[in-house]
Amino acid sequence: MTAAQMEHEITLTVNGFAVSERVEARRHLADFLREDLGLTGTHIGCEHGVCGACTVLVDGEITRSCLTLAVQCEGKSVTTIEGISDSGAVADLQEAFRARNALQCGYCTPGMVITASVLLDAEEMPDREEIRDHISGNYCRCTGYHAIVDAVETTLKARAEAGR
């Protein structure tokens, strides 16, 4: 695939499954996930990389899917909120969000959960300020963040406790 084309065949892994699709070069990953694969858990809030609602994991790193072209994901492994939910990898974090009412409208939540997920394995336990810093690229317009910080902190403490 070297020719400069408007459309490209891409093959990648999404939530553990191989996916092959033909996409326009201009299709960003968020639209690819939502429109082509029906994975509507990845939300679009701004399409200019500010709000964080579209955050997914690409090869394990938190990534703005609106600032990543689908065609660039050839050969990569993408994990969305649907995948991370099915795997149960952060079920404890999701339960903490629920118990703490750390979401209201829920629109930011998939991006917030994905963003927070990479904190859970941090070697050093982040404090509240560090949690706030880490999620600072994800807007929540409903909660005022306090409850989200609580939910992440609770999960971190429980994991640290369990790992002891």
Partner 1 sequence: MSGDVPSPLTALDRPNSYIGRAVPRPNLKRLTEGRGEYVSDISLPRMVHVVYVRSPHAHARIVSIDATAAKAAKGVVAVVTGAEIAQVCTPWVGVLSHMVGLKSAPQHPIAVDRACWQGEAVAAVVARTRALAEDAAALVEVEYEPLTPVTDMMTALDPETPVIHESLGDNLAFERNFSGGDPASAFAASDHVIEADFGFGRHTGVTLEPRAMVADFNPGTGRLTAYLGTQAPHMIQNILSIHLAMPESAIRVVCKDVGGSFGIKVHVYADEMATAALSKLLQRPVKFVADRLESFLTDIHARDHRVKGKVGVMADGTITAFEIDDVTGIGPYSVYPRTSAVEANQVVNLTGGPYTCPNYKARARVVFQNKNVTCQYRAVGHPIATAVTEGLVDLAAQKIGMDPVEIRRKNLVRDDAYPCASATGLKFEALSHHAALDKLLAMMDYPRLRAEQAEMRKKGVHRGIGFASFIEITNPGAAFYGVGGARISSQDGAVVRLDAAGAVTVQTSATEQGQGTEAVIAQVVATAVGVPLERVRVISGDTDQTPYGGGTWASRAAGIGGEAAWQAGKALRENVLAVAGAILQAEAGTLDVREGAVVDADTGRERMPLTELGRIVYFRPDTLPTGFQAELMAVRHYVPRGYPFAFTNGVQASYLEVEDGFVKLLGHWVVEDCGTILNPQLVDEQVRGGVVQGLGGALFEHCVYDSEGQLQNASMADYLVPMACEMPDIQVGHVVSPTADSELGAKGAGEAGTAGAPAAVMNAINDALSPFGAVVTDMPFTPDRILGALRAAKAAQGA
Partner 2 sequence: MKPAPFAYAKARSVAHAVELLSAHDDARIIAGGQSLVAMLNMRLAAPEILIDINDIPGLSEVSVEDGFLRIGALVRYAQAQRSPLVSTHAPLIARAIPHVAHAAIRSRGTLGGSVAFADPAAEMPACMLALGARIVIAGVDGEREVAIDDFFKGLYETAIGPAEMLVALRLPLHGPSRRVAFGEYARRRGDYAMVGLAATARAQGAGLADVRLAYFSVGLNAVRAQGAEAALEAGDVEGAVAALDGDLDPDGDIHASRDTKMHLAGALLRRVAAELSEAAQ
Binding site for partner 1 (CB under 8 A): 24, 26-27, 34, 39-48, 50-51, 53, 80-82, 85, 94, 97-101, 103-110, 113, 128-129, 131-133, 135-150
The smaller minimum CB distance to partner 1, of residues 11 and 87, is found at 87
Residue 2 or 161: the one with the smaller Cβ distance to partner 1 is 161
146 contacts: CB under 8 Å, gap ≥ 6: none
Is 155 an interacting residue with respect to partner 2 (CB under 8 A)?
A: no
Which among 58, 83, 82, 62 is positioned nearest to 72, based on CA atoms?
58
Q: Which of 80, 109, 115, 117 forms a contact with partner 2 (CB under 8 A)?
A: 115
Strand, coil or helix: 161 = helix
6 binds, among partner 1, partner 2, none (CB under 5 to 8 A by kind): partner 2
Smallest distance, partner 1 to C-beta of residue 31, A: 8
Q: Say how far apart CA 5 and CA 87 lie, in whole Å.
A: 36
Q: Which is nearer to partner 1, 75 or 87 (CB)?
A: 87
Residue count, binding to partner 2 (CB under 8 A): 35
**Distance between CA 140 and CA 106 in Å, rounded?**
9
From CA 22, how far away is CA 9, in angstroms rounded? 4
**Helix (H) / strand (E) containing 96:** helix 91-100
Q: Which does 82 bind (CB under 5 to 8 A by kind): partner 1, partner 2, none?
A: partner 1
Point out which residues pair with 153 in neighbouring strands.
none
Among 12, 28, 131, 154, binds partner 2 (CB under 8 A): 28
Largest CA distance in the chain: 54
Q: Which residues pair with 55 in a beta bridge?
A: 64
Choice from 42, 63, 109, 154 touching partner 2 (CB under 8 A):
63
Nearer to partner 2, 25 or 91 (CB): 25
